Amino acid sequence: MSGDLSVGIHDLSFSTTQFVLTHQTLAAHNGTDVGKYHAGIGQRAMSVPAADEDIVTMAAAAAAPIVARHGADRIRTIVFATETSVDQAKAAGIHVHSLLGMPSATRVVELKQACYGGTAALQFAVGLIHRDPSQQVLVIAADVSKYELDNPGEATQGAAAVAMLVGADPALVRIEEPSGVFTADIMDFWRPNYRATALVDGRESITAYLQAVQGAWKDYTEQGGRALGEFSAFCYHQPFTKMAYKAHRHLLQVCGQEIDEERIAREIGLTTSYNAEIGNSYTAAVYLGLAALLDQADDLTGRAVGFLSYGSGSVAEFFGGTVVPGYRERLRSESHRAAISRRQPITYARYRELHEHAFPVDGGHHPVPTETTGPYRLAALSGHKRIYEPRQSGLAHR
């Protein structure tokens, strides 16, 4: 492995859903003060998939612009991270590979460990590039977070996909060594195979997250990582955006530093804007935070960014990245804002209908009405097989 090889994120693109439920609408239904959502957890809206949308359609929509810009000739691996997989055996990335017409000489694999999976995929990709710098890896993190109706976690739901092209001499962010890692066997959030919705112990999950922040940082420093003050910004996993602030305060305390709210806002504030509108996207959440930071910051050239990825159960990792000169020329800020603004607001009744939608399990032919205006859709479940199709051609922009 070449120690001086620069490897990292060469391109980044995200997508979300056709519909959005605002927290104003949710609060009106619940008879709740909307401030409980806006100020309490830092959420303003949540993306809701149409009946013909899922992790595959979002993933393909996120990845298509990357393939259009760079081509697929050097992409020999697709790593798809998700905890809301559409099949227990087949990797969701194979559907994406097919929809995007990628070469057959490609390895495709799916990774799972709650919300941490996206970072596992990124590190998997970095290792592959160190082995062969001529290759590129397409990393996709896509999820639909779903809790039972009227559950305390309901207000944090969301859905999105982030696609990242990982390669040598990256145009956006160089991923640094070392990493600090932490694992503990905790049942703070989980979804048994027989359930469509997750189970969560909210109080335990916050405690477990903060424990993992402390453990991952401790290991990072023991591995010879940067000092805390060297980082200009921090991208945390965001099950809800206020959790990033809790986590950063905890890290400052662990490091014996003063809790300065202006400093916290400066180091965290820009990373939460997309997540506040989209909701929790599990594996994609940290990298939506990165997208928001890169799209909005004045100039981060040469600056170090800290990443804290947490997945319930639990696994966490802290690592650093340096923003590359010229990165602003490669950003997709306009299309990212469009992905959020294009969503159609829905009523609570419509949201509930979509939330409770489920396919029959009889193996029959069950077509799905066209609802999404995105480039790819789930057309049917037929013979227990998911059938995907492009909605129309020419929608993947460079």
Pairing of strands 231-236, 304-311: parallel
Closest CA to 308 of 297, 320, 323: 320
Strand partners, 181: 317
Q: Which two tokens stand for residue 385?
A: 């097989």
C-alpha span between 305 and 291 (Å, rounded) = 12
Per-residue pLDDT band at 4 (split at 50, 70, 90): confident
What mean pLDDT comes out for the span 137-162?
97
Element (H, E) at 248: helix 241-254
Q: What does the mean pLDDT of the chain come to? A: 96
Catalytic residue ranges: 83, 115, 237
Instruction: Please give the pLDDT value at position 63.
Output: 98
Instruction: Please give the pLDDT value at position 226.
Output: 98
Residue 134: alpha-carbon gap to chain centroid: 26
Edge to edge, what strands does the sheet with 385-390 contain?
365-367, 376-382, 385-390
Q: Which two tokens stand for residue 300?
A: 């981060």
Place of tokens 């000092």: 227
What is the maximum alpha-carbon separation in the chain?
Answer: 61
What mean pLDDT comes out for the span 24-40?
97
Over residues 233-271, the pLDDT tens digits come to 999 999 999 999 999 999 999 999 999 999 999 999 999
pLDDT at 42 over 60: yes
pLDDT at 398 over 60: no
Instruction: Please give the pLDDT value at position 3.
Output: 59
SS3 content of the chain, % helix, strand, coil (to 5): 40, 25, 35
Residues 6+ apart with CB under 8 A from 364: 382
pLDDT at 2 over 90: no
pLDDT at 397 over 60: no
Burial zone of 302 (CB within 10 Å; 0-12 exposed, 13-18 middle, 19+ buried): exposed
378 with 56: CB under 8 angstroms?
yes
pLDDT at 22 over 70: yes
pLDDT at 214 over 80: yes
- pTM, to two decimals: 0.97
What mean pLDDT comes out for the span 115-139?
98
Over residues 48-96, the pLDDT tens digits come to 999 999 999 999 999 999 999 999 999 999 999 999 999 999 999 999 9
C-alpha span between 284 and 286 (Å, rounded) = 6
Residue 334: alpha-carbon gap to chain centroid: 19
Closest CA to 287 of 7, 95, 16: 16
Instruction: Please give the pLDDT value at position 233.
Output: 98
Least trusted range by pLDDT, from 155-159, 235-239, 343-347, 389-393: 389-393
Place of tokens 């694992």: 183
Over residues 166-183, the pLDDT tens digits come to 999 999 999 999 999 999
Element (H, E) at 235: strand 231-236
Pairing of strands 45-48, 19-22: antiparallel
Instruction: Please give the pLDDT value at position 279.
Output: 98
Strand partners, 381: 366, 386
Over residues 316-347, the pLDDT tens digits come to 999 999 999 999 999 999 999 999 999 999 99
- State the virtual CA torsion across 178, 253, 277, 356 in degrees, nearest 10: 90
DSSP letter, residue 314: T
pLDDT at 212 over 50: yes
C-alpha span between 78 and 73 (Å, rounded) = 13
Structural domains of the chain ordered from first start:
7-173+331-390 (3.40.47.10), 177-325 (3.40.47.10)
C-alpha span between 208 and 211 (Å, rounded) = 5
Instruction: Please give the pLDDT value at position 287.
Output: 98
Q: What percent of the chain has pLDDT over 90?
A: 96
Instruction: Please give the pLDDT value at position 395.
Output: 44
